[in-house]
Structure 1
Amino acid sequence: MDELLPEALPPGTLLGSWRVDGWAGFGTYGVVYRAHRTGRLFPQPVALKLARYPHDARFDREAELLSRIQHPGVPRLLGRGTWTRGPRRERHPYLVMQWVEGLRLYKWAEEHPLTSRQALRLLAQTARALEATHACGGLHRDIKGDNILVGPEGQVFLMDFGCGTWEGAAPLTDGLLAPGTRIYRSPQALRFYRDHLRSNNSPYPATPADDVYALGVMAYRLCTEIYPPLATNLSVVGNDGRDAQEVRVPPSQLKPLAPSLESFILRMLCDTPQDRGSAGELAAAMEAAAATAGAEADEPLGTSRSAVPPEVTRPPTAVPRRSGGIWPAALLPSAAGLLILVSGHLKLEGRWAPSSSLSDGGTGGVADAAVEAIPVSSVPREPEPSRLSLDMPKEPLPGQSRPPCPRNQISIRGGCWVEIAQDSPPCGEGYYHWKGACYFPVVVPPRPSTSDKHEN
């Protein structure tokens, strides 16, 4: 097996007492296979998550956290071990977990008519799993739709604890922020990042309130089909430091929500952590609301409010995403210049990666232990694009704009940069990473020709 790669184990490969049945998907640090235990007459399928890199301590931490949580909405840890490969006998840790059948939350909502009562039940189940996580001193740190599976009977499973930690666990890296997905981060986390970006400060101390805020973002996205604005405007780093934010449209102006559901969403998105409530308090209140709500809670959410202006239904992002979006016209000269700059600093060899199919904000490991594995499901996640990124240069690139930089740009090492606000390292091919964030350079557009030439 020395020639085998962690990402490409063929069916039949043995890892301890587990036999691989097939590939399920992969992320930045982990590969997930469907497998079964050998020596059983009617073996049940399991999810085997294998480290892509040897001696990865993230897997020990995830295993410890899963072993502490005992809840029907959290996959059980069934086993762990190491797989040895190569002439150096490198040891890749793996985890074996309960196999869960289901659809990711937003996909499930696309295929099932969603009502306020159903949304309350789904969110309450998620909050119960989160309550069990917090009760053992743990944090999930990557609550989002892609990490929630809904089973055939409507049961909810909280998946992918690779970004998680527990009280007293040693950090694995020295970034400012814990791992997670940018659009789901709390105002406190983003402000900490913004205010300490240029310092050697200790990492942001994540709390259960950060998980609850992410649950609120997920609830808003589930019920309205768009994300709320980023909690804090990060583009002001290095300039005037003001906390400018987009206006968050009340969810009932986007879809016909029951008043109780909207109140829970807005509560979880409160700026003040203590006003959000604990996961357990929210779960109990949402369960009661689902049981007692009137007929309005059974109205489908599929029809948008006609009074909402078209612009509020666009994704609330002020900077371009790597895939699936349209770049603002003002950034097109910078984008064109970026291609020229990158071609001079990176051997592309014609291998631009395809767009990713993952549209949930883009999980990235910022700081501690980001294991971006797919939710364990029979639904395979498509492979991610190449995640090669570049180190921040020590001086401005040729043709790069210099300070003073406009408000939507950041001055770094003598050049102007635009932060990819919904992404985190590893940033992807052609992007530059610096202090736990992803950037691309702003290029000075070429001056128009002053000659008076005309086409004949």
Structure 2
Amino acid sequence: MEAASPDALGPGTMLGPWRLSGRVGRGTYGAVYRAAREGEEEAEGVALKLAVHPRDERFEREAELLSRIRHPRVPRLLGRGEWTGGPWNQPYPYVVMEWVEGMGLYEWARLRSPSSRQVMQVLAQLTQALAATHGVNGLHRDVKGDNVLVGPGGEAWLMDFGCGSYEGAKPLTEGPLAPGTRPYRSPQALRHLWTQRRGGASYEAKAADDVYALGVTAYRVVTGQYPPPGTDLEAKQAGRRGGGGMRAPAHALNRRVSRELSALIERMLEDAPEKRGSASELTGALERAAARAGAEADVALQGAVQSAAPTVRFPVCSSASPRWRGLALVVPAGVVLLAYLVVAVSVRYIPDGSWKLQPDAGLEDAGRVGLADAAVEASPTFMIGHRTSGTSWNAVALDMPKGPLKGQKRPPCRPRWEVEVNKACWSQVGTVSPPCGAEGYEWKGFCYMPVVAPERPNTSDGQ
């Protein structure tokens, strides 16, 4: 009988004193299960996050960071341990956190149509969570809507500290940037990536980077789109291409957004880190603005996106793995265009500016989920840690398969920019670090797309 993999453990499996009741999510580095301490199965339960890679040091770092944070807007660490198993009987670390019931921030915004006041109240709770994290010399490093849960009463939690770090922690990745999500990178991080694109020192993230990412998150909540990447270089490149590149304030894109909220979002998106303010300073500013705002702040923000981004459906990941076979993903057309650029145009390195083909860039959830975006077909899902649904179109990333996918090119992998991995040909997506989005695959700290096999000539005599 084949040993169970860490992301496919069945109900009743014991991990130390914890009995699993079912899996609720799967990310790049971990699978999230609902569990309960043995003998306390009638209790509310906990969230157990199990590594999908053996001896993954990220889990020890995440547990250590969570153990230092004491704040109601951050899930409490309840335990940590190690499970030995899998096909090679290896040790897989896990962390146990309090169970949080809620809905992903973007889905909450789309389905609940909150007012500017309600958005400011949610943001104030998130800046409180960031202030508590920064107060222990920690960083989240992956603030985004997918890592925020909102409860039925408007209570918000900052989730998933898997990319987090703290002062003195051992670096776990190589490359110019730590793991994170591309559209939320600060201008300083993107400029560093550009200057170090041929190798060099790693970027040292700061608290101001978390604040900027929260500004991107807030901008997307109320406008349904990402702001342009915040670098002078990319703005100039966009101008030469006729793309503008200048960020419009949120209230200019959605007239229902209050001026107070729009101004605070602009503050978080300031180019200069010192102008953004600390998380604690922003908490006070958001709370005061929410308390003092007039009736215009109570107008529902429904209708932020008047026209949804075009979407296409196509099957991917039809590999030997049964769980992905026949899966249809919903992705923006720009992501498909990007994939074809990677494979067909065969560019080994893609400058950062080229990601502006489509703001979503496939690096987060695969569909654009603005407040009134009817193109994304999703139902409210209550969960812990990562969004889950009946399909996997919003998966954080995919692990490199152990063999070629259906329709994928096999060796020899030519030209030189094609890379052979597990008897298949792959193309690296620039210098993008994981998570790689729903259609990207991670390998050795970078993101890859499968190279499509050329069609064979039809040798049949039939017509």
Quote how far apart the aligned CAs of 1:42 are. 3.3
1:155 to 2:155 alignment: yes
Quote how far apart the aligned CAs of 1:250 are. 1.6
Determine the structure 2 residue equivalent to 1:210. 209
Determine the structure 2 residue equivalent to 1:130. 130
Distance 2:103 2:437 in 1: 27
1:118 to 2:130 alignment: no
Q: 1:397 and 1:20, CA in 2 relative to 1: closer, same or farther beyond 3 A? A: same
TM-score where L is the length of structure 2 = 0.72
1:358 to 2:370 alignment: no
Preserved CA contact (<8 Å) 1:212 1:268 = yes
Quote how far apart the aligned CAs of 1:304 are. 4.4
Unaligned runs of 5+ in 2: 311-328, 347-361, 369-381, 405-412, 418-426, 452-463
Determine the structure 2 residue equivalent to 1:184. 184
Write out per-residue CA displacement over residues 267-315 of structure 1, whole angstroms, 9 at most, x where no aligned residue. 0000000000000000111001101111111112113498xxx7xx759
Determine the structure 2 residue equivalent to 1:17. 17
Preserved CA contact (<8 Å) 2:4 2:87 = no
Distance 1:430 1:333 in 2: 13
Preserved CA contact (<8 Å) 1:424 1:438 = no
Quote how far apart the aligned CAs of 1:436 are. 4.8
Preserved CA contact (<8 Å) 2:177 2:433 = no
Determine the structure 2 residue equivalent to 1:198. 198
1:388 to 2:397 alignment: no
Give the letter aligned to residue 210 of structure 2. D
Determine the structure 2 residue equivalent to 1:33. 33
Quote how far apart the aligned CAs of 1:157 are. 0.5
Preserved CA contact (<8 Å) 2:3 2:87 = no
Q: 1:281 and 1:328, CA in 2 relative to 1: closer, same or farther beyond 3 A? A: closer
Q: 1:47 and 1:245, CA in 2 relative to 1: closer, same or farther beyond 3 A? A: farther
The farther-off stretch of 42-51 and 278-287 is 42-51
Matched position secondary structure for 2:7: helix
The farther-off stretch of 216-225 and 247-256 is 247-256
Preserved CA contact (<8 Å) 1:24 1:32 = yes
Determine the structure 1 residue equivalent to 2:320. none
Q: 1:327 and 1:2, CA in 2 relative to 1: closer, same or farther beyond 3 A? A: closer
Write out per-residue CA displacement over residues 125-165 of structure 1, whole angstroms, 9 at most, x where no aligned residue. 11000100000000000000000000121110000000000
Quote how far apart the aligned CAs of 1:424 are. 4.1
Give the letter aligned to residue 91 of structure 1. P
Quote how far apart the aligned CAs of 1:432 are. 9.6
Preserved CA contact (<8 Å) 1:426 1:433 = no
Matched position secondary structure for 2:94: strand
Distance 1:356 1:282 in 2: 27
Preserved CA contact (<8 Å) 2:180 2:433 = no
Determine the structure 2 residue equivalent to 1:277. 277
1:325 to 2:332 alignment: yes
Give the letter aligned to residue 253 of structure 1. A
1:376 to 2:375 alignment: no
Determine the structure 2 residue equivalent to 1:407. none
Q: 1:152 and 1:397, CA in 2 relative to 1: closer, same or farther beyond 3 A? A: same
Identical pairs, percent: 47
Determine the structure 2 residue equivalent to 1:61. 61
RMSD: 4.1
Q: 1:41 and 1:170, CA in 2 relative to 1: closer, same or farther beyond 3 A? A: closer
Preserved CA contact (<8 Å) 1:147 1:375 = no
Q: 1:333 and 1:432, CA in 2 relative to 1: closer, same or farther beyond 3 A? A: same
Give the letter aligned to residue 226 of structure 1. Q
Distance 1:378 1:428 in 2: 13
Q: Which has the higher contact order (CA 8 A, sep 6+)?
A: 1
Q: 1:421 and 1:116, CA in 2 relative to 1: closer, same or farther beyond 3 A? A: farther
Distance 1:147 1:328 in 2: 22
Q: 1:314 and 1:276, CA in 2 relative to 1: closer, same or farther beyond 3 A? A: farther
Rg larger in 1 or in 2?
Answer: 1
Determine the structure 2 residue equivalent to 1:267. 267
Preserved CA contact (<8 Å) 2:431 2:446 = no
Distance 1:435 1:279 in 2: 30
Distance 1:49 1:432 in 2: 19
TM-score where L is the length of structure 1 = 0.73
Q: 1:253 and 1:56, CA in 2 relative to 1: closer, same or farther beyond 3 A? A: same
1:98 to 2:98 alignment: yes
1:229 to 2:228 alignment: yes
Quote how far apart the aligned CAs of 1:329 are. 11
Unaligned runs of 5+ in 1: 316-321, 340-354, 362-373, 391-395, 401-416, 442-456
